[in-house]
Amino acid sequence: MPIIAVGLVTLLTLILGTAGLRFARTTSNFFVASRSVHPAWNAFAVCGEAMSAASFLGVPALILVFGVDMLWVLVGWTIGFFLLSLFIAAPIRRFGSYTIPEFVDGRLDAPKLRPIAALLVIVASWFFLLAQLKGAGVVIRALIGTPYWVGVVAVGVLVAANLSAGGMRGITFVQGFQFFFIFLGILVPFAVISVIWLNDGDAFDDTALVTNDYPAFAAEITVRYERTITVDVPDATLVVIDGLVDGIEYDARSVMIEAGTRTIGAGADITWPAGAAAPHTASVDRLTGAEWAEPLGDKSIGGGHPLYFSVAILLANMFGIMGLPHIVSRFYTNPTGREARRTNLWVLALLTPYYAMVPLFGVIGRVVSPDLLGNGATDSATLVVGERLLDGVGSDLVTSIVAAGAAAAFLSTASGLLIAMAGALSHDILQAGVPQFRFAVWLGAAVSISAGLLVESFDINVLIGWSTSIAASSICPLLVLGIWWPGLTRRGATAAAVIGGGASTAAALTTMFGVVDRGWPFAVLATPAVWTVPLAFATGIGVSLRDSDKVVDLGHKMALMHVPERLRPESDGPRVVTETTVGA
Amino acid sequence: MVLVPLVAFAFALDFWPSLGRWRPLGLLPLPWLVLGPVVLFSIVVLAFFHERTALRIENEWAEPRRPIHRSANEIED
- Residue A71: which of B21, B35, B41 has the nearest Cβ? B35
CB count in 10 Å sphere of residue A32: 27
pLDDT digits 0-9 by tens, B2-60: 667 777 777 777 777 777 767 666 666 777 877 778 888 888 999 999 889 988 888 88
- Residue A348: which of B14, B32, B43 has the nearest Cβ? B43
A183 touches chain B (CB under 8 A): no
Q: Give yes or no: residues A273 and A297 share one domain.
A: no
* Pairing, β A229-233 against β A280-281: antiparallel
Domain holding A66, by residue range, is 2-199+293-457
CATH number of the domain at A392, please.
1.20.1730.10
Residue-wise burial string across A492-523, b where 16 or more C-beta atoms lie within 10 A, e elsewhere: bbbbbbbbbbbbbbebbebbbeeeeeeeeebb
With cut-offs at 50, 70 and 90, classify the pLDDT of residue A537. very high
With respect to residue A372, please indicate whether it lies within any of the assigned structural domains.
yes
Q: Is the pLDDT of residue A216 over 90?
A: no
Residues 6+ positions from A144 with CB-CB distance below 8 Å: A3
Interface predicted TM-score (ipTM) of this complex, two decimals: 0.79
Q: Give yes or no: residues A270 and A409 share one domain.
A: no
Q: Is the pLDDT of residue A319 over 90?
A: yes
Domain holding B26, by residue range, is 3-62
Q: Give yes or no: residues A160 and A297 share one domain.
A: yes
Domain stop point among A409, A438, A457: A457
Q: Give yes or no: residues A143 and A33 share one domain.
A: yes
Domain stop point among A457, A475, A509: A457
Report the share of chain A in percent with pLDDT over 70: 91
Tell me how far apart the alpha carbons of residues A90 and A504 are, in angstroms, rounded to a whole number. Answer: 28
Can you give the pLDDT at residue A581?
Answer: 39
Q: Give yes or no: residues A101 and A234 share one domain.
A: no
With respect to residue B40, please indicate whether it lies within any of the assigned structural domains.
yes
B-proximal residues of A, 207-236, CB under 8 Å: 209-210
Can you give the pLDDT at residue A283?
Answer: 77
With CB atoms and an 8 Å threshold, state whether B20 touches A359.
no
Report the share of chain A in percent with pLDDT over 90: 22
Which residues in chain B are closer than 8 Å to A210, comparing Cβ atoms?
27, 29
With respect to residue A484, please indicate whether it lies within any of the assigned structural domains.
no
pLDDT digits 0-9 by tens, A381-394: 888 888 888 888 88
pLDDT digits 0-9 by tens, A50-97: 888 888 888 999 899 888 888 889 999 999 999 998 999 999 989 888
With respect to residue A505, please indicate whether it lies within any of the assigned structural domains.
no
Number of domains comprising chain B: 1
DSSP E strand boundaries for A273-355: 280-281
With respect to residue A150, please indicate whether it lies within any of the assigned structural domains.
yes
Element (H, E) at A255: strand A248-257
Q: Give yes or no: residues A227 and A153 share one domain.
A: no
Our CA-based measurement puts residue A5 at a distance from the nearest CA of chain B, in whole angstroms, of 30
With respect to residue B70, please indicate whether it lies within any of the assigned structural domains.
no
Tell me how far apart the alpha carbons of residues A336 and A551 are, in angstroms, rounded to a whole number. Answer: 26
Q: Is the pLDDT of residue A576 over 50?
A: no
- Residue B10: which of A307, A566, A567 has the nearest Cβ? A307
Q: Give yes or no: residues A86 and A119 share one domain.
A: yes
Tell me how far apart the alpha carbons of residues A527 and A529 are, in angstroms, rounded to a whole number. Answer: 6
With respect to residue B51, please indicate whether it lies within any of the assigned structural domains.
yes
Number of domains comprising chain A: 2
DSSP string, A83-95: HIIIIIHHHHHHH
Q: Give yes or no: residues A306 and A273 share one domain.
A: no
| Secondary structure of residue A222 in the 3-state scheme | strand
Can you give the pLDDT at residue A582?
Answer: 35
With respect to residue B73, please indicate whether it lies within any of the assigned structural domains.
no
Which own/partner contact pairs does A480-484 have at CB distance under 8 Å and 24+ positions apart?
A480/A87, A480/A88, A480/A322, A480/A537, A481/A537, A481/A540, A481/A541, A481/A544, A482/A103, A482/A104, A482/A107, A482/A108, A483/A87, A483/A88, A483/A91, A483/A92, A483/A107, A483/A561, A484/A87
Can you give the pLDDT at residue A577?
Answer: 46
With respect to residue B54, please indicate whether it lies within any of the assigned structural domains.
yes
With cut-offs at 50, 70 and 90, classify the pLDDT of residue A580. very low
Which residues in chain B are closer than 8 Å to A206, comparing Cβ atoms?
27
With respect to residue A481, please indicate whether it lies within any of the assigned structural domains.
no
Average confidence score pLDDT of chain A: 84
Q: Which residue numbers of B have CB closer than 8 Å to A's CBs? A: 2-3, 6-7, 10-11, 13-14, 17, 20-21, 27, 29, 31-32, 35-37, 39-41, 43-44, 46-48, 50-51, 54-55, 58, 61-62
With cut-offs at 50, 70 and 90, classify the pLDDT of residue B68. low
With respect to residue B77, please indicate whether it lies within any of the assigned structural domains.
no
With respect to residue A447, please indicate whether it lies within any of the assigned structural domains.
yes
Q: Give yes or no: residues A320 and A396 share one domain.
A: yes
Q: Is the pLDDT of residue A48 over 50?
A: yes
Q: Which sign, positive or negative, has the C-alpha torsion B22, B26, B27, B31?
A: negative
Geometric angle at alpha carbon A462, from A461 and A464, rounded to 5°: 60
Domain stop point among A418, A441, A457: A457
Which residues in chain B are closer than 8 Å to A290, comparing Cβ atoms?
21
A345 touches chain B (CB under 8 A): yes
Q: Give yes or no: residues A265 and A396 share one domain.
A: no
Tell me how far apart the alpha carbons of residues A65 and A47 are, in angstroms, rounded to a whole number. Answer: 26
With respect to residue B50, please indicate whether it lies within any of the assigned structural domains.
yes
Can you give the pLDDT at residue A498?
Answer: 92
Q: Give yes or no: residues A12 and A136 share one domain.
A: yes
pLDDT digits 0-9 by tens, A230-251: 988 888 889 899 989 888 898 8
Element (H, E) at A462: helix A460-470
Q: Give yes or no: residues A70 and A98 share one domain.
A: yes
